[in-house]
Structure 1
């Protein structure tokens, strides 16, 4: 593996010009992936490396919000990228022109790569495969997969969902092949457990933290009593699913004690009126918040969630989470169960009927056990990492694009 990577360094060197910095193309495929990609893009721009992005399944709102230019192609698919949760969504996407869109994106990636030095793939095998297709050096930031889905530090879970015994990694052989390709400079994975397993198989895998935990600093304060516990609601980001999730959550809120403050962190995709109409009359004090997710997540005592990335971020901050399975396309029973494996004991999957009692037990334990909150914070750091990952990953990419220096720099696994 060493010699091809040395030849790759020479290929990168020939494109470097001090007056013309290296160019990066960022590919990502989903709402959460776009958020991670936009943070990495901003970190690269701050290091003087121009970035252009191609959001594969959406309009790239996260990139636009950060001022990152987009390649001129975007089409929103009905599934929003969640075809792996429900194959009926794939059929809807195909009818909406998925194959034609994918073909245009592949052609655009190949053309754009001719003027770029590196493709940064963020998400799963789809952007990773497109990065390989580009024909130029690429790096991978894996957000979707983790060995925590089938094991933890103590060993494999004894669950019937493992049909053929213990797997090697959550990353499948063809994904590992793309990550081991001579043009792949390296892969940045979401936790140390997964990274260590792939390093043992000879892959150039790194753990520098999880970019999902970046940008969660509060920008303001919420109009909540700091001396009373507060329940944060996360209904998801995509209508109409988020409105269905909200209706289920209101059934839970209706049965919670009124002394528990309730507020929601909401996506700009959601409108006030459909949400307001579902709030029970006795809980008219439910606070609806758009923007400043960091303040919402930091303030929470407990979280009631039917979301993906936002739930992971709350666990990373040390918050206990109660989840309810929904109808999808994202937050299906299958997704919810998998999320409990990924995030571990901080997540409590339950029903609408049992959720009020579960919330009550969590609040009681927080009040009675002074060590519980510290345990949750330690658990969150272990599963989700510490802030600053985007800056660390961008710095490593910059070093790989430098005109001098060894390709295989000494590196210690873990966050430095």
Structure 2
């Protein structure tokens, strides 16, 4: 049974589940997405070999109630405690039925896995010691993590040291080393975030365009605010070549609101004929093309020269491909300035942060006009994200532990 407490965690869990199923199709899997509707698992549920349990849980904070008091209050009003109780009931029942739990995320799924009494594995996705070990140490939290030698907190690595915790996987070697100093046998076999991204050729129709990938996130209504803010910034970019902005949206339900934003900004629908590459809508304003697609990130990601991105996991994946990004933080609840700062440090500065439209445009323009700097900065971020293949390595480790228990 997989527990995931976020949209990015759903993606990571899905990659590991796919790898497990590919190796051994006799193992049954069920997944409990603790935030959102678990759309990442829909295809496998439809195919009949994965069971998604639990009611869909939509929280105003998008699962980021720990980052602001107002977000916590909004989530409590929306039924957070009742939702957690229903999820705990399902987890406890599965544990009594003999399920082994794979917790994907941070403290909450780890704590629930431990409290269930079951044997469990933990895939710790959000924390990396790169966020405090590199760059200037300017905050109390940086000194606190330095004192511990890890970004994980004492109560977290206490749960990881439990005899029932059979495996701990983290995203990079420096983070695994920090946990091992506290008696946790942490592994870093590769980053599942980099699995499943296709290497496709950029369509000929856009070879003469400067190409951006715009990532506005998946949490609503924040994603709409991010989309408008990033697109306003894009219009300040001064380059002589025509520009194509690929916008891989997470859901077709976003279409109507995105269309209204484009109309308000002076864009008009274009009926340009393009081969079937997943483009659902094309909008145009002067020499600027906006290309909308749904669930096309893995196909389009490597077409971009630069990313303009207010997103979490998708931004990290883009940087992992060697594509530098510029972010323009909003009011959150997820993608605020503090989140952007942490992400930039995590990725070695491969995501630049801006708080002004003209500065944002200059940063993007600089990257577009300098192939050398694009490659230099992009390779730094790619190194931080690590190679693909992590999903299969984690799946093999899980299976090895399962075989030892039989």
Give the TM-score normalised by the residue count of structure 2: 0.87
Q: Establish whether residue 398 from structure 1 lines up as the match of residue 399 from structure 2.
A: yes
Partner of 2:78: 96
Q: Establish whether residue 201 from structure 1 lines up as the match of residue 182 from structure 2.
A: yes
In structure 1, how many angstroms separate the alpha carbons of the residues matched to 2:75 and 2:293? 32
Partner of 2:162: 181
In structure 2, how many angstroms separate the alpha carbons of the residues matched to 1:124 and 1:101? 18
Superposition pairs of residues 44-193 of structure 1, within 5 angstroms: 44-48=20-24, 49-67=27-45, 68-152=50-134, 157-162=136-141, 164=143, 166-168=146-148, 169-193=150-174
Shift of 1:35: 1.0
Whichever structure has more helix as a proportion of its residues is: 2
Q: Establish whether residue 343 from structure 1 lines up as the match of residue 347 from structure 2.
A: yes
Among 229, 239, 245, which residue is 1:262 paired with?
A: 245
Change (3 A) 1:221 1:320: closer
In structure 2, how many angstroms separate the alpha carbons of the residues matched to 1:357 and 1:294? 28
Among 350, 362, 365, which residue is 1:360 paired with?
A: 365
Q: Deviations over 1:170-215 (max 9, x none)?
A: 0000000011111101210011110112123321100011111111
Partner of 2:274: none
Change (3 A) 1:98 1:373: same
In structure 1, stretches of 5+ residues that fail to align are 1-24, 406-416
In structure 2, how many angstroms separate the alpha carbons of the residues matched to 1:290 and 1:347? 24
Change (3 A) 1:221 1:302: closer
Q: Establish whether residue 29 from structure 1 lines up as the match of residue 14 from structure 2.
A: no
Shift of 1:358: 0.7
In structure 1, how many angstroms separate the alpha carbons of the residues matched to 2:404 and 2:369? 58
Judge which range, 293-302 or 119-128, deviates more.
Answer: 293-302
SS at match of 1:139: strand
In structure 2, how many angstroms separate the alpha carbons of the residues matched to 1:340 and 1:249? 17
Contact 1:191-1:209 within 8 A present in 2 as well: yes
Contact 1:322-1:347 within 8 A present in 2 as well: yes
Contact 2:54-2:90 within 8 A present in 1 as well: no
Q: Establish whether residue 250 from structure 1 lines up as the match of residue 207 from structure 2.
A: no
Contact 1:142-1:188 within 8 A present in 2 as well: yes
Partner of 1:327: 331
In structure 2, how many angstroms separate the alpha carbons of the residues matched to 1:192 and 1:285? 41
Aligned Cα RMSD in Å? Answer: 2.1
Give the TM-score normalised by the residue count of structure 1: 0.85
Q: Establish whether residue 217 from structure 1 lines up as the match of residue 195 from structure 2.
A: no
In structure 2, how many angstroms separate the alpha carbons of the residues matched to 1:311 and 1:199? 28
Change (3 A) 1:196 1:163: closer
SS at match of 2:66: coil
In structure 2, how many angstroms separate the alpha carbons of the residues matched to 1:178 and 1:86? 25
In structure 2, how many angstroms separate the alpha carbons of the residues matched to 1:182 and 1:403? 14
Q: Alignment length, in residue pairs?
A: 374
Partner of 2:221: 240
In structure 2, stretches of 5+ residues that fail to align are 268-284
Change (3 A) 1:291 1:105: closer
Shift of 1:27: 0.2
Superposition pairs of residues 224-235 of structure 1, within 5 angstroms: 224-235=205-216
Shift of 1:262: 1.8
Change (3 A) 1:224 1:327: farther
SS at match of 1:38: helix
Shift of 1:221: 5.5
Q: Establish whether residue 291 from structure 1 lines up as the match of residue 295 from structure 2.
A: yes
In structure 2, how many angstroms separate the alpha carbons of the residues matched to 1:117 and 1:213? 28
